[in-house]
């Protein structure tokens, strides 16, 4: 199975069919308090980066929906300073990439973008939301991933320069945030979103 097929399985239709609860964009608000626990209990601080991953549709209506999302985020930028960029990765998936030093503004912008796509009838195209964190003694980022098809979060800790993950770090993140976030119980759906190099998965 290739990377593209694996992503479709883990975050796509199979994930939706196997889901134990419905996805809810309001789950994203959980990160507004979880990041405090990340810093206080684990010394992981937000990097100032977050992203929304979705599968595009080749239609004028979907393009209009994306333009609505972009307009909402541009309007928010004037108030919060959150910058937004729309990018496509090497596997054909699309991302709304957000940057802001204020974490609550990142969560709000991710929620606005996801909610607008749902309101426009494209909630089924949403795959994942990612929030990036870093540790002062580690030269890498770790992520909390929210799977829209599973309605749950899972940790992802890629090792720099390798297609390997730090399982011990992921299980530590799971143990500390269990109960504060709705976590994915089935580790088969902790799908790795590998970056191309040592950057973020959306780069």
CATH number of the domain at 52, please.
3.30.70
In a domain, 148, yes or no: yes
Residues 6 or more apart in contact with residue 191 via CB below 8 angstroms = 6, 7, 10, 11, 145, 147
Grade residue 23 by pLDDT with cuts at 50, 70 and 90. low
Output the pLDDT for position 90: 78
In a domain, 198, yes or no: no
Q: For the chain, how many structural domains are there in total?
A: 1
In a domain, 196, yes or no: no
**Alpha-carbon gap, residue 115 to 112, rounded angstroms:** 5
Q: What mean pLDDT comes out for the span 125-140?
A: 93
> pLDDT (tens digit, 9 = 90+) per residue, 158-167?
998 888 999 9
Output the pLDDT for position 4: 42
Residue 196 has pLDDT above 70, yes or no: yes
In a domain, 195, yes or no: no
Output the pLDDT for position 104: 95
Output the pLDDT for position 66: 93
Q: What's the number of CA atoms in the CB half-sphere (13 Å) around residue 165?
A: 16
Output the pLDDT for position 36: 97
> pLDDT (tens digit, 9 = 90+) per residue, 48-92?
999 999 988 889 999 999 999 999 999 988 888 999 999 988 778
Neighbour count for residue 162 (Cβ, 10 Å): 10
Output the pLDDT for position 19: 46
Q: What's the number of CA atoms in the CB half-sphere (13 Å) around residue 29?
A: 5
Q: At what angle do helices 103-119 and 31-42 cross, to 10 degrees?
A: 150
Residues 6 or more apart in contact with residue 37 via CB below 8 angstroms = 176, 177, 180
> pLDDT (tens digit, 9 = 90+) per residue, 25-50?
899 999 999 999 999 999 999 999 99
Contact call for residues 21 and 152 (beta carbons, < 8 A): yes
pTM: 0.89
Our measurement of the distance from residue 142's CA atom to the centroid of its chain's CA atoms, rounded to an integer in Å, reads 11
In a domain, 125, yes or no: yes
Q: Which residues pair with 142 in a beta bridge?
A: 133
Closest CA to 68 of 8, 7, 108, 112: 112
Mean pLDDT, the chain, rounded, equals 87
Share of the chain above pLDDT 90, in %: 62
Output the pLDDT for position 1: 32
In a domain, 140, yes or no: yes
Contact call for residues 160 and 198 (beta carbons, < 8 A): yes
Grade residue 147 by pLDDT with cuts at 50, 70 and 90. very high
Range of the structural domain that residue 64 is part of: 3-189
In a domain, 61, yes or no: yes
């Amino acid at each position: 199975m290739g990377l593209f097929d694996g992503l479709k399985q883990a975050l796509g239709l199979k994930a939706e069919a196997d889901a134990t609860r419905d996805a809810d964009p309001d789950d994203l608000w959980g990160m507004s308090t979880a990041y405090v626990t990340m810093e206080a209990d684990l010394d992981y601080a937000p990097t100032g980066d977050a992203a929304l991953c979705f599968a595009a549709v080749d239609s004028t209506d979907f393009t209009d929906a994306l333009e609505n999302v972009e307009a909402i985020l541009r309007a928010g930028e004037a108030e919060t300073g959150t910058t937004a960029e729309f990018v496509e990765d090497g596997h054909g998936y699309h991302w709304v990439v957000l940057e802001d030093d204020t974490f609550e503004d990142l969560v709000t912008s991710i929620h606005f973008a996801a909610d607008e796509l749902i309101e426009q009838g494209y909630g089924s195209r949403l795959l994942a939301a990612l929030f990036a964190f870093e540790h002062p003694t580690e030269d890498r980022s770790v992520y909390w991933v929210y799977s829209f098809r599973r309605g749950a979060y899972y940790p992802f800790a890629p090792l720099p320069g390798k297609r390997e993950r730090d399982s011990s770090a992921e299980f530590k993140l799971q143990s500390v945030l269990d109960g504060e976030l709705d976590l994915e119980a089935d580790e088969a759906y902790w799908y790795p979103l590998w970056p191309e190099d040592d950057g973020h998965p959306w780069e």
